[in-house]
Structure 1
């Protein structure tokens, strides 16, 4: 995990180089961190910047990273995140043809889990 100042600098540099804002980077990083994304913070920031260059922002980028990170390490898909799920070997639908949603834990759910005694709130 990167320290706050290092992470702010990486987010700022990513925003300058890519079609994304620092706010999008921080929100996406927070959401993926809360959801348990296995990628390193710096890799997530870089992935958000790369997706931003292809017009994929905010929730769409977070969902895409969450889904792909369930299957691949970042080093394997670096520079390929905008490719189709199928070409990346990520199943988009289950055997019944139902959409497989990424496993994202929203802040509201995080608090609800704590109220039920299932986890700790931030």
Structure 2
């Protein structure tokens, strides 16, 4: 596990190298943490940076990581996160043809839960 200082430096380095801001990284990392994303924090930061290079930011990036992480490890999809869900073997629709949504928890739904402002300050 990476300590907060190393993770903060990685987030800043990722923001410099990729088309994404540190704020987008912090918010995306927070959202995926509270939603139970099985990927390591370092993998999430790297994935958000990679998606940023393809113009996929904020909620779109978080939803994409959430959905793909339910089916694959990061090492398996590293470098191809921007490919279609179908080509990655991730179902976009259920058997009734309805769109499958990723299992994300939203800050508004957390009663007395994780404090984003407090958490993001430890990363900054």
User: How much has 1:110 moved relative to structure 2?
Assistant: 1.6
With normalisation by structure 2, the TM-score equals 0.89
| Number of residues of Structure 1 aligned to a counterpart in Structure 2 | 114
- 1:80-119 mapped onto 2 (5 Å cutoff): 80-111=80-111
Q: Report the RMSD for the aligned CA atoms in angstroms.
A: 0.9
User: How much has 1:12 moved relative to structure 2?
Assistant: 0.3
User: How much has 1:25 moved relative to structure 2?
Assistant: 0.4
Tell me: higher relative CO, structure 1 or 2? Use CA pairs within 8 A at least 6 residues apart.
2
CA distance in 2, matches of 1:75, 1:7: 19
User: How much has 1:2 moved relative to structure 2?
Assistant: 2.3
Task: Please give the secondary structure, in 1, of the residue aligned with 2:110.
Answer: helix
2:61 corresponds to 1:40: no
Structure 2: which 5+ residue stretches go unaligned?
115-124
Residue number in structure 2 paired with 1:117:
none
